[in-house]
């Protein structure tokens, strides 16, 4: 440990005082992230670029003589950008991002099966006169298609090193590292920023050069593999394709809610046992209460939803890696355009089912600013995984486990209904917003990448990253909210002559009774009001907040029956309706603020969602109260 630290220090003195910075750039889907994982041993640090929320993935390259940091840039077709994420890639390369030093070397990644498009960007990069290495990735797929490339000739004619790589099995990665080892020093002297004044060469001239390069060094058969085209005949068929799409979505939701339940249940039971054990071992007192009611009930109540979250992200990763998602975008473009959205908004909206924060960030691939704005506004209406715990708790407490029409489970149908309500509301809101303004059109111009088998390893890495982000959230925000809440619900204790439950005398009790009149028209009691407050930090905390205020520590089942005996059915429905729209958690509001960069938009966003939530809960409460009595 100490030794390696010393080595690092020596190396960094050797090469200036900061590690070398290499950046990976290329078209979307050429394999940048896969190659990044190979080079860094999949130890990515995921953060954001300063000031913007494009994910910044960086890691140290393992096995190089010098310390070197590698950055995975957003995919781009050109340095003449048309969308915000391409802008980030360009600004980074040019050194125009505040607080980010310009990279010392660019690794241009090109998909060997899609050579011309990739080489075009490389030609542009080459004209910047920066150190540049070309990684010809996906060579396995290229060989399989009968494409042969004379790498040495290509390298000579282009004047840059060319390395063949296969990111999925790390072939060529050592050769790439060997090449990287030739760069030992920061680029001395040239600290002036690069500029992109005007195109120095016309697109035609660049393509002419590429054509002659390809003619000289590449032989390729004319046709794509037949199975790809056959698959597209079905998947992109106007009618069959939509059927395939809806079947896939159905399977995803079914899986998330049916397959994950047994695992979640056993985890829940585990936390119940742990709580019971602690109750037996520890002496009665404040420490025991803190551990059992504060920590285990709070954090455990949220962790049990990890299996569902993993499954949802797994499906999204699989669909994305296989190349299917863009086909879905193709199919849905026209119907979504009627709402002021487009096929490009489909992917951010789908990610929002996992969490609105990456969803809102993913809108950076949308070039039309109005469409992007609308997508951001409606993204949180897609039911995120943090709302799932709340839905699951209330549904299992109030909706009977009944089969309707032979195959459908009533609880599942209710859940589907809640998701559906979110989607329909999003459509309505988008439609209303679209009507405010006529606008000029923006192009779709979406590449439909070839289909690929998702690689287990890279899917695993992607999943691990998501799980880590979730666990970090549990360990920080959710843990601290649980502790604060427990404190508020415990102090001050009940006076000696108390006749009512202790919690009514606590801070939480007071807070709840102040809020109660405001929420009385919705049928919410003061316990429900209290749970709304920490839910603004993280929605899933509503579950543990209810556990704390109802003072149950025996897993979800016990809490469910406590709720069942204290809420009427219309109240439960109203609470569900509230959660379809609100509360927007603080992180969502913050990401909207950063992405729109406008206080007015953020205020509009927050107010309209709270307004909708109040209205929907009120209507639900009044109508279902009428129907049930």
Partner 1 sequence: MNSAVFPDARHAASARLDQCRKGATLRVIGLLPQSLFGSNDEQVGLRLKELGFLPGAQLKVIGFGLFGGDPMAVQINGTKFALRRAEAAKICVEEVTVTGGR
Catalog residues that contact Mg ion under the rule CB under 5 A.
Answer: 33
According to the binding rule CB under 8 A, does residue 442 interact with partner 1?
A: yes
CB-nearer residue toward ligand GDP: 324 or 373: 324
Which of Mg ion, partner 1, ligand GDP, none has residue 80 at its interface (CB below 5 to 8 Å by kind)? partner 1
Smallest gap from Cβ 159 to partner 1, in A, equals 22
Residues 165, 171, 173, 178, Cα dihedral to 10°: -100
- Min dist CB 450 to ligand GDP, Å, is 9
Instruction: Rule CB under 8 A: choose which of 13, 281, 445, 599 binds partner 1.
Output: 445
Which structure tokens are listed for 621? Answer: 């409460």
Residue with Cβ nearer ligand GDP (137 or 620)? 137
Going by C-beta distance under 8 Å and a sequence separation of 6 or more, which residues neighbour residue 207? 116, 120
Contact 136, 165 (CB under 8 A): yes
Q: 243: Cβ–Cβ under 8 A, 6 or more apart, which residues?
A: none
Residue 112 CB, nearest approach to partner 1 (Å): 11
CB atoms within 10 A of CB 50: 10
What's the 3-state SS for 81-132?
Answer: CCCHHHHHHHHHHHCCCCCCCCCCEEEEEEEHHHHHHHHHHHHHHHCCCCCE
Question: Applying CB under 6 A, does 140 fall inside the site for ligand GDP?
Answer: yes
d(CA 578, CA 590): 21
Q: Strand, coil or helix: what is 26?
A: strand
> Mask of contacts with partner 1, 71-110, x by CB under 8 A?
------xx-x-x----------------------------
Residues 65-104, mask of contacts with ligand GDP (x by CB under 6 A): ----------x-----------------------------
What residue 282 binds from partner 1, Mg ion, ligand GDP, none (CB within 5 to 8 A, per partner kind)? none
Kind of pairing between the strands at 403-404 and 105-111: unpaired
Q: Which of 25, 30, 71, 252 binds ligand GDP (CB under 6 A)?
A: 30
Least separation, in Å, of the C-beta of 55 and Mg ion? 9
Q: Residues 190-219: x/- map of binding to partner 1 (CB under 8 A)?
A: -------------xx--x------------
CB of 302 to ligand GDP, least distance (A): 30
* Helix/strand/coil (H/E/C) assignment for every residue in 407-440: CEEHHHHHHHHHHHHHHHHHHHHHHHHHCCCCCC
Taking CB under 6 A as the criterion, the residue among 11, 21, 28, 96 binding ligand GDP is 28
Return the bridge partners of 68, or none.
20
Is the preceding peptide bond at 340 cis, omega within 30 degrees of 0?
A: no
Cβ 236 to Mg ion shortest distance, Å:
23
User: Which residue from 20, 32, 541, 571 is in contact with ligand GDP, where contact means CB under 6 A?
Assistant: 32
From 132-140, 276-284, 388-396, 520-528, give the range in contact with ligand GDP by CB under 6 A: 132-140
Tokens encoding 34: 């896969």
Task: Report the candidate in 320, 386, 376 with the shortest Cα–Cα distance to residue 353.
Answer: 386
Between 33 and 450, name the residue whose CB sits nearer to Mg ion.
33
User: Taking CB under 6 A as the rule, does residue 454 contact ligand GDP?
Assistant: yes
- 91, 265, 333, 465: residue in contact with partner 1 (rule CB under 8 A): 333
Contact between 455 and ligand GDP by CB under 6 A: the answer reads yes
Nearer to ligand GDP, 118 or 272 (CB): 118
Selected from 189, 238, 400, 406, the binder of partner 1 by CB under 8 A is 238
416 binds, among Mg ion, partner 1, ligand GDP, none (CB under 5 to 8 A by kind): none
User: What span, in angstroms and rounded, lies between the C-alpha atoms of 624 and 428?
Assistant: 23
Buried-state track 122-155, b at ≥16 Cβ within 10 A, e below 16: bbbbbeeebebbbbbbbbbbbeebebebebeebb
Please choose, from the candidates 369, 491, 386, 383, the residue with its C-alpha nearest in 3D space to the C-alpha of residue 433.
369
Picked from ligand GDP, partner 1, Mg ion, none, the partner binding residue 29 (CB below 5 to 8 A depending on kind) is ligand GDP
Among 65, 152, 194, 224, binds partner 1 (CB under 8 A): 224
How many whole angstroms separate alpha carbon 45 and alpha carbon 42? 9
**Residue with smaller CB distance to partner 1, 241 or 509:** 241
Q: Please work out the total of residues on this chain that contact ligand GDP, with binding judged by CB under 6 A.
A: 21
What CA–CA distances, in Å, run from 617 to 78, 438, 482, 580, 586? 48, 33, 26, 9, 21
DSSP 262-300: HHHHHHHHHHHHHHHHHHHHSPSSHHHHIIIIIIIHHHH
CB of 33 to Mg ion, least distance (A): 3
Q: Give the residues lining the site for ligand GDP (CB under 6 A).
A: 26, 28-34, 75, 137-138, 140-141, 166-168, 321, 452, 454-455, 458
């Amino acid at each position: 440990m100490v030794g390696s630290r010393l080595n690092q220090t020596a190396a960094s003195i050797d090469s200036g005082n900061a590690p070398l910075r290499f950046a990976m750039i290329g078209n979307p889907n050429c394999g940048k992230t896969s190659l990044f994982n190979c080079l860094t041993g999949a130890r990515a640090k995921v953060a954001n670029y300063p000031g913007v929320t494009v994910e910044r993935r960086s890691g140290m390259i393992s096995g190089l003589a010098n310390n070197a940091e590698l950055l995975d840039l957003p995919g781009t077709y050109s340095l003449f950008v048309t969308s915000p994420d391409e802008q980030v890639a360009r600004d980074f390369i040019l050194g125009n991002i505040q607080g980010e030093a310009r990279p010392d070397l660019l690794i241009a990644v090109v998909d060997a099966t899609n050579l011309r498009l990739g080489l075009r960007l490389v030609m542009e990069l080459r004209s910047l006169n920066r150190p540049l290495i070309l990684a010809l990735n996906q060579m396995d797929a290229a060989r399989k298609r009968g494409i042969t490339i004379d790498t040495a000739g290509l390298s000579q004619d282009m004047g840059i090193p060319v390395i063949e790589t296969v990111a999925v099995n790390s072939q060529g990665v050592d050769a790439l590292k060997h090449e990287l080892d030739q760069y030992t020093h920061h680029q001395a002297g040239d600290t002036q920023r690069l500029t992109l004044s005007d195109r120095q060469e016309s697109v035609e001239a660049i393509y002419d050069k590429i054509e002659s390069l390809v003619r000289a060094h590449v032989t390729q058969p004319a046709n794509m593999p037949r199975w790809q085209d056959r698959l597209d005949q079905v998947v992109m068929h106007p009618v069959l394709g939509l059927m395939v799409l809806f079947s896939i979505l159905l399977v995803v939701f079914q899986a998330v809610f049916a397959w994950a339940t047994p695992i979640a249940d056993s985890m829940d039971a585990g936390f119940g046992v742990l709580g019971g054990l602690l109750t037996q071992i520890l002496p009665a007192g404040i420490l025991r209460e803190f551990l059992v009611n504060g920590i285990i009930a709070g954090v455990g109540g949220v962790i049990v939803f990890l299996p569902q979250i993993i499954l949802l992200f797994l499906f999204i990763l699989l669909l994305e890696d296989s190349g299917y998602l863009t086909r879905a975008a193709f199919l849905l473009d026209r119907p979504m355009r009627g709402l002021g959205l487009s096929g490009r908004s489909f992917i951010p909206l789908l990610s929002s089912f996992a969490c609105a924060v990456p969803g809102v960030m993913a809108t950076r691939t949308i070039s039309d600013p109005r469409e992007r704005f609308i997508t951001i506004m409606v993204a949180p209406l897609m039911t995120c995984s943090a709302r799932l715990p709340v839905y699951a708790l209330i549904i299992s407490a109030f909706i009977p486990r009944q089969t309707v029409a032979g195959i459908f489970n009533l609880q599942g149908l209710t859940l589907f209904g809640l998701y559906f309500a979110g989607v329909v509301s999003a459509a309505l809101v988008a439609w209303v917003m679209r009507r405010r303004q006529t606008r000029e059109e923006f192009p779709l111009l979406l590449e439909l990448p070839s289909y690929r088998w998702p690689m287990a390893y890279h899917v695993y890495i992607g999943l691990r990253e998501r799980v880590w982000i979730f666990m970090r959230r549990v360990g920080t925000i959710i843990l601290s909210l649980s502790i604060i809440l427990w404190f508020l619900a415990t102090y001050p204790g009940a006076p000696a002559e108390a006749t009512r439950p202790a919690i009514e005398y606590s801070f939480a009790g007071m807070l709840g009774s102040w809020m109660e009149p405001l929420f009385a028209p919705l049928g919410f009691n003061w316990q429900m009001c209290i749970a709304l407050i920490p839910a603004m930090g993280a929605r899933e905390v509503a579950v543990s907040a209810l556990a704390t205020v109802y003072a149950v520590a025996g897993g979800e089942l016990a809490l469910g029956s406590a709720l069942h005996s204290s809420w009427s059915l219309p109240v439960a429905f109203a609470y569900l309706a509230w959660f379809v729209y609100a509360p927007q958690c603080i992180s969502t509001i913050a990401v909207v603020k950063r992405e729109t960069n406008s206080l007015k938009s953020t205020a509009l966003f927050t107010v309209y969602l709270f307004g909708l939530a109040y209205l929907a809960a009120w209507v639900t409460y009044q109508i279902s109260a009428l129907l049930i009595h």
